[in-house]
Each structure stands twice: as structure tokens, then as C-alpha cells.
Amino acid sequence: MNELFEKVYNNQHLNRIEAERIAEKMFEGQLTDSQLAAFLTALKCKGETAEEMAGIADTIRRKAVLIDCQKDNVMDNCGTGGDRSGSFNISTTAAFVLASGGVTVAKHGNRSISSKSGSADIFECLGVNINLSPERTSLLLEEVGLAFLFAPHLHPKMKYVMKVRKELGTPTVLNLIGPLTNPVSLDSQLMGTYRRDLLAETAKTLSELGRSRAVVVNGAGGLDEASLAGTTHFALLQDKQITMHTIEPEEFGFARLPLESIRGGNAKQNTEILLSILKNQASPYLDTVLLNAGLGFFSNGKVTTIQAGISLAKECVASGAAMAKLEQLIQVQKEVA
């Protein structure tokens, strides 16, 4: 183990097996706080690779409470967070649009960490039970095509790293790989990241983890979502090939707007924003969700172009299908509970 630590300290990359060996010790509580802090810090300073991220993420998944899902082409649209933008809950809102368009969404998430409200806080405000058993969560995925997966309940081994993460006070590889640790076996993914420099490396990691198709996105201003504020950069993974792209809001008929226009608030305020979007009330919030949901449909392979995805997203919201999906989720969860 000391040899592996020395390798990272000397600015050398680990292969996937080596990363898994360290992660195994990490998530069984077999590293001291000093060892854990030194490793996470050294890895960040060196720069994380796809093999390292895949090795750690896969170890977390193997130790998670697994959720069975028999549906085809299941996706997640969870982001890393950490962009400090103060935006509303974009991916949470987009999940209802995606599910209403026929995509099965296993929405992995947590409570607020660096923002005022996390996805778990929003689902609770909407009246969704985030504490369902794995079996009942599976039923929601089967019957509704949408379920919320509350990360702390599904990753009990993360308790061994929480103290050090809080004390370090800086994002580490564990922030970067949060969206990679979904306990459901995903086929496709839309993943936002605050690290534009790691777009291609993160897409490579998704390929290592078995995704057949994925988009890793970083918006203007460092947003871990597609943004109306300027150029959005993304890496597209398709059939193990990765290509880099940029898009502008004007390409899809959206006005270019500052990040302040999508500023969110606490969980109650962000829930009100979500409901206004599902009611198709025109606003920068709505346009931002349409762009991201459109990119989600494209990531999933439901459509072949982002423009077609945005058109489908508009249809899902305008028809009331996205709001109906929220109502269905609330109703069915009561029945399975």
C-alpha cells in the first residue's frame, strides 16, 4: 500500500487495479485519516485519470445497496455540483421532462452540500419519499420510469471518508465521481461537471464503467449543466469513441442570458421554480431546463440531434406530460409504500 501511495506522491498515475486496491482499503475504514487526506490531496494535485476514477467509482458501486431495474437504456442526469453558481435545481427538474418523454431515469442525488438545496431536498418538498426500500425503488423505476436514489442510504461505506472530506474543505476525486456511482446499471448518462479540463477524461471513465452512450457537460461560467450564459462545452461518448463539441444558446433559438437569471434559493423557492417550469411558464428557468432536457434526450439516444431533443422537451412540458409524470410518481410511491 505504501508503494502505491508513493507512486501518487511522485506524480505517477495509478492503473485501475491499483486504484481499486486503495479504494478497497478506503471504504473498509482501513486507512488512517492522515493516509486518506494525503492520498486525496496528492491525487488532486497530480490530476485524476480515467483509470483512477473508474477504479474508485466501481469500488463504491460494488459496496453499494444495488437497485434492480429490468428496463432498457436506463439513464441518470446527475451532476457533480461544486460549481458555486447558486443556480436552481436544473437536473432535478429536467429528470421529470426526460421521464415524461419515455426515458427511464434513475436520479441519483443527495441533500445540499455546496448549494442551498440539493435534489433530495427538492424531492422531499414535492412530497416524494426519499427513504423507500431498494425493492420499492425498483418498482418505481418499472412502473413510473423515474425514481430518486438517495445516495447516503445506498452508499453506507462512504461513512469512512466523510470526516476527512469535511476537514479538507476542498473538492477531491470523490466529488468528481459522485455521479459515476449510481447503484443502477446505467446504459447512458448526461453528467455535468465543474471541471472543464476533465471533460474527455470523465467521458473515458464512463466508457470504462460500461456506458454505451454519454455526454459530459460544462457550461459557461463553469456551470455543471448546459448554460444560456455562453458557450457550453461537452464530450460525447458513443460506441467507445469520444469527441469534443461546443454549443451556443442562439443555435437553438434561446437568448443569451447571464447566470444571475437562473439564480435559485432554498429548497422551497427552488421547488416553486420547478413547478413553474412544469406548468410551462416562460422564463430563463424554463429555457435552461429545455436545453438540458434536450441534451439529455440526445445523451440517451432517444433522438439523434440536440435540436430534436429540445423539440421533444418542449412538447413534454407544453402538453402537461412532465407535470403528469410528477403526479404519477407521487401517486405510485404511495401505493408501493
pLDDT for the residue numbered 116: 67
**Residue 108 assigned as binding residue:** yes
pLDDT for the residue numbered 140: 96
Q: What is the CA radius of gyration of the chain?
A: 19
**Residue 112 assigned as binding residue:** yes
DSSP letter for 212, please. S
**Residue 17 assigned as binding residue:** no
Q: Which three cell numbers stand for residue 256?
A: 443569451
Strand order in the sheet with 213-218: 146-150, 105-109, 75-76, 188-192, 213-218, 232-238, 241-247
**Residue 222 assigned as binding residue:** no
Query: Residues in the chain with pLDDT < 70?
Result: 83, 112-116
**Residue 101 assigned as binding residue:** no
**Residue 133 assigned as binding residue:** no
Measured CA to CA, the distance from residue 320 to residue 195 in angstroms comes to 35
Q: Which three cell numbers stand for residue 49?
A: 485519470
**Residue 29 assigned as binding residue:** no
Q: How far is CA 203 from CA 90, 156, 175, 187, 301, in A?
A: 21, 26, 16, 13, 16
**Residue 34 assigned as binding residue:** no
**Residue 177 assigned as binding residue:** no
- From the list 83, 153, 74, the residue with the least C-alpha distance to 120 is 153
**Residue 266 assigned as binding residue:** no
**Residue 111 assigned as binding residue:** yes
**Residue 115 assigned as binding residue:** yes
pLDDT for the residue numbered 113: 58
**Residue 181 assigned as binding residue:** no
pLDDT for the residue numbered 85: 76
Measured CA to CA, the distance from residue 3 to residue 248 in angstroms comes to 47
Structural domains of the chain sorted by starting position, each given as residue range(s) with its CATH number in brackets: 1-63 (1.20.970.10), 75-154+165-336 (3.40.1030.10)
Q: Are 227 and 219 in contact (CB under 8 A)?
A: yes
pLDDT for the residue numbered 247: 98
pLDDT for the residue numbered 32: 97
Measured CA to CA, the distance from residue 234 to residue 192 in angstroms comes to 9
**Residue 90 assigned as binding residue:** yes
**Residue 60 assigned as binding residue:** no
Q: Where are the alpha helices (DSSP H) in the chain?
A: 2-9, 16-26, 33-46, 50-62, 90-100, 119-125, 134-143, 151-154, 159-168, 173-176, 199-208, 267-278, 284-300, 306-318, 321-336
**Residue 129 assigned as binding residue:** no
Q: 71: exposed, middle or buried (C-beta count within 10 Å: 0-12, 13-18, 19+)?
A: middle
**Residue 296 assigned as binding residue:** no
**Residue 262 assigned as binding residue:** no
**Residue 185 assigned as binding residue:** no
Amino acid at the residue 260: E
Residue 33 phi, psi dihedral angles, 5° rounding: -60, -40
